[in-house]
Amino acid sequence: MSEGQSLQRTPLYGCHLEAAARMVDFAGWEMPVQYTGVIEEHRAVRTAAGLFDVSHMGEVRVKGAGAEAFLQRLTPNDVSKLVPGRAHYSGLLNERGTYIDDILIYKLGAADFMVVVNASNAPRDFEWIASRAAGEPEVEVTNESDRYALLALQGPKAAGILAPLASVDVTGLKYYGFAQGKVDGVPALISRTGYTGEDGFELYLAPEDAPRVWRKLLDGGAVPAGLGARDTLRLEAAMALYGHEIDETTTPWEAGLAWVVKMDKGDFLGRDALAAQKAHGVPRKLVGFEVQGRGIARQGHAVVSEGGAVGAVTSGTWSPTFEKALGLAYVPPELAAVGTALAIDVRGRALPAVVVEIPFYRRAR
Amino acid sequence: MYPRDYLYSREHEWLRVEDDLCVLGITEFAQQELGEVVFVELPEIGQVFDANDELGTIESVKAVAEVFTPVAGEVVEVNDAVVDDPELLNEDPHGDGWLIKIRFSSADDLKTMMKADEYEEFVQSGEA
């Protein structure tokens, strides 16, 4: 970030300062990385409930009689299967079948969709979507990122904390289902989604309403959790993070996200490239690994074999749940089987690791 | 916050001089910046370093930090307790969380270091 360029702040900035958060620059936003500590916040989400400010995420509205057909051609998941009140995980792929971003698509109405994108990509994603919609009949694309604050209430106690404040039956919402109602008397889109591997909800609120809802949820027993815990939680759940597991060089096949791609739904952007890669086979695969020695493999560290780099770590951290170092890495397919021994070059030292099943963490249902 | 009888480096190490030995650790500021420490890697007893050499690494959940020695000399003791229980570094960075003792070869190396009030000013200035 160049000097003089100020960081953006979410409507909850004041709440973070009140809670003595450590603030950092994240994708041009001044965001809380931790309040009391990453491990403590992580464990609160796994055992009780944590509250995250993720208002930096972007929202792009796609409306009109042509909206569904447009999104169906733009994205790899099957938009025709969505009904109002349901969302799904998908991607924005380019012609090469690689990721511009990963996204959520909410079907608000028959001809009304909300696309939720990563903060780091939001301006670019909006341009991408809007430029492809230009010339499409009856598709209207607007950037509504400024219209929403977004809170994520996550953890086994999330439903119990939210239910008494909500005007709709939140316990009856299905995973990836959502409802428009009220929380503490203010309008909210309440979605049973999240990025932690736990049960939980994401609340889309008007910016001016967000601080009171934030405080109400903390009063209800949630603890504030920062981007540090968000990262360790999503990594234990082996959920991809743009700029780490996925970017403009990776396809859904490589990233283990084949379930997002519906090749039989008709043509969509990137489909030809994906069909070709499927026929030829992938050059690399994303695997989960567990470090066996002392140390932590982190993004950018090379996976080495016989002295040369054969892959790279995309994310790595200390896992508060398992109390060991875990990570995700791209490796050649022949090194991808569970149980394969890997060596990771950590500052010139070969750290032993072994390929394990992902997700590392799966909640009991 | 910062003991008056310690010396401090711009890399956030502290030294406590005991005759020809220095006890070396990282500061409260460094500990806070790192967050929860999960691994500490220290040199062997007998290893010899030049001033500003990297002598070990500290890994927290979020990041890795190299530790440098502001003074040249030979390692005469390492704190095994902090290796076994890295949380000590978060709990008591200026005391039980010390890292190594080093027999320094030149007192001149100490001259470049900051006193407690200078270090406090340094971390508060936002330059750190």
- Give me the CATH number covering residue A83: 3.30.70.1400
CB contact at 8 A, A103 and A125:
yes
The pair of structure tokens assigned to B125 is 């200035």
What residue type is B67 in one-letter code?
V
Residue A337 has pLDDT above 70, yes or no: yes
CATH topology for B7-105? Answer: OB fold (Dihydrolipoamide Acetyltransferase, E2P) (2.40.50)
pLDDT class for A293, splitting at 50, 70, 90? confident
* Residue in the structure block whose two tokens are 């330059």: B127
Of B35, B36, B39, the CB nearest to A296: B39
Model pLDDT for residues B58-84, shown as the tens digit of each residue: 999 989 999 999 999 999 999 999 999
**Domain assignment present for A78:** yes
Residue A4 has pLDDT above 70, yes or no: no
Of A295, A317, A347, the CB nearest to B61: A317
Q: Which residue of B has its CA nearest to A233?
A: B61
Own/partner contacts of B47-56, CB < 8 Å, gap of 24 or more, are: B47/B74, B47/B75, B48/B73, B48/B74, B48/B75, B49/B73, B49/B74, B49/B75, B49/B102, B51/B109, B55/B24, B55/B99, B55/B100, B56/B99, B56/B100
With H, G, I as helix, E, B as strand and everything else as coil, classify residue A202.
strand
- Domain check: are A63 and A24 in the same one? no
Q: Which residue of B has its CA nearest to A231?
A: B62
Residue B48 has pLDDT above 80, yes or no: yes
Tell me if A39 and B59 make a contact (CB, 8 A cut-off): no
Instruction: Work out the percent of chain A whose per-residue pLDDT is above 70.
Output: 99
Q: What's the order of all strands across the beta sheet hosting A200-205?
A: A178-183, A186-191, A200-205, A149-154, A50-53, A223-224
**Domain assignment present for A259:** no
- Domain check: are A98 and A211 in the same one? no
- Domain check: are A20 and A153 in the same one? yes
* Pair type for strands A324-331 and A341-346: unpaired
What residue type is A104 in one-letter code?
L
How much is the mean pLDDT over chain B?
A: 95
Model pLDDT for residues A26-61, shown as the tens digit of each residue: 999 999 999 999 999 999 999 999 999 999 999 999
pLDDT class for A2, splitting at 50, 70, 90? very low
- Give me the CATH number covering residue A227: 3.30.1360.120
| Buried residues in A165-199 as b, exposed as e (16+ CB within 10 A) | bbbbebeebeebbbbeeebbebebbbbbbbbbbbb
- Domain check: are A172 and A200 in the same one? yes
Q: Which residue range(s) make up the domain with A115?
A: 58-143
**Domain assignment present for A248:** no
- Give me the CATH number covering residue A338: 2.40.30.110
Residue A347 at interface with chain B, using a CB cutoff of 8 Å:
yes
pLDDT at A125: 98
**Domain assignment present for A223:** yes
Distance to chain A for B39, nearest Cα, Å: 7
- Domain check: are A165 and A226 in the same one? yes
Of A143, A166, A182, the residue at which a domain comes to its end is A143
Provide mean pLDDT across the span A218-232. 98
pLDDT class for A365, splitting at 50, 70, 90? confident
- Domain check: are A84 and A63 in the same one? yes
- Domain check: are A76 and A139 in the same one? yes
Of A228, A294, A347, the CB nearest to B62: A228
How much is the mean pLDDT over chain A?
A: 96
Nearest to A120 by CA among A232, A286, A248, A17: A248
Q: Which residues, in sequence order, are bridge partners of residue B26?
A: B13
Residue B85 at interface with chain A, using a CB cutoff of 8 Å:
no
Cα–Cα dist A295/A287, whole Å: 19
Residue A1 has pLDDT above 50, yes or no: no
Report how many domains make up chain A: 3
Tell me if B36 and A38 make a contact (CB, 8 A cut-off): yes
Residue A307 has pLDDT above 80, yes or no: no
CB contact at 8 A, A115 and A133:
no
Of A175, A204, A236, the residue at which a domain comes to its end is A236
- Domain check: are A63 and A40 in the same one? no
Residue A320 at interface with chain B, using a CB cutoff of 8 Å:
yes
Distance to chain A for B107, nearest Cα, Å: 31
Model pLDDT for residues A238-276, shown as the tens digit of each residue: 999 999 999 999 999 999 999 999 999 999 999 999 999
- Domain check: are A214 and A157 in the same one? yes
Residue A178 has pLDDT above 90, yes or no: yes
Query: A298 to chain B: which residues are within 8 Å by CB?
Result: 64
Tell me if A33 and B41 make a contact (CB, 8 A cut-off): no
- Domain check: are A323 and A209 in the same one? no
**Domain assignment present for A255:** no
Tell me if A295 and B41 make a contact (CB, 8 A cut-off): yes
Tell me if A318 and B38 make a contact (CB, 8 A cut-off): yes
Tell me if A296 and B62 make a contact (CB, 8 A cut-off): no
pLDDT at A5: 67
* Pair type for strands A324-331 and A285-291: antiparallel
- Domain check: are A22 and A62 in the same one? no
Cα–Cα dist A316/A225, whole Å: 19
**Domain assignment present for A339:** yes
B38 backbone dihedrals φ, ψ, rounded to 5°: -115, -20
Model pLDDT for residues B95-122, shown as the tens digit of each residue: 999 999 999 999 899 998 999 999 999 9
Instruction: Work out the percent of chain A whose per-residue pLDDT is above 90.
Output: 95
Query: A318 to chain B: which residues are within 8 Å by CB?
Result: 38-39, 59-61
Query: A347 to chain B: which residues are within 8 Å by CB?
Result: 57
- Taking only residues 97 to 116 of chain B, the set having a beta carbon closer than 8 angstroms to any beta carbon of chain A reads none
* Residue in the structure block whose two tokens are 């691994």: B39
Rounded to the nearest angstrom, the gap between the alpha carbon of residue A213 and the centroid of all alpha carbons in its chain is 22
Of A203, A236, A269, the residue at which a domain comes to its end is A236
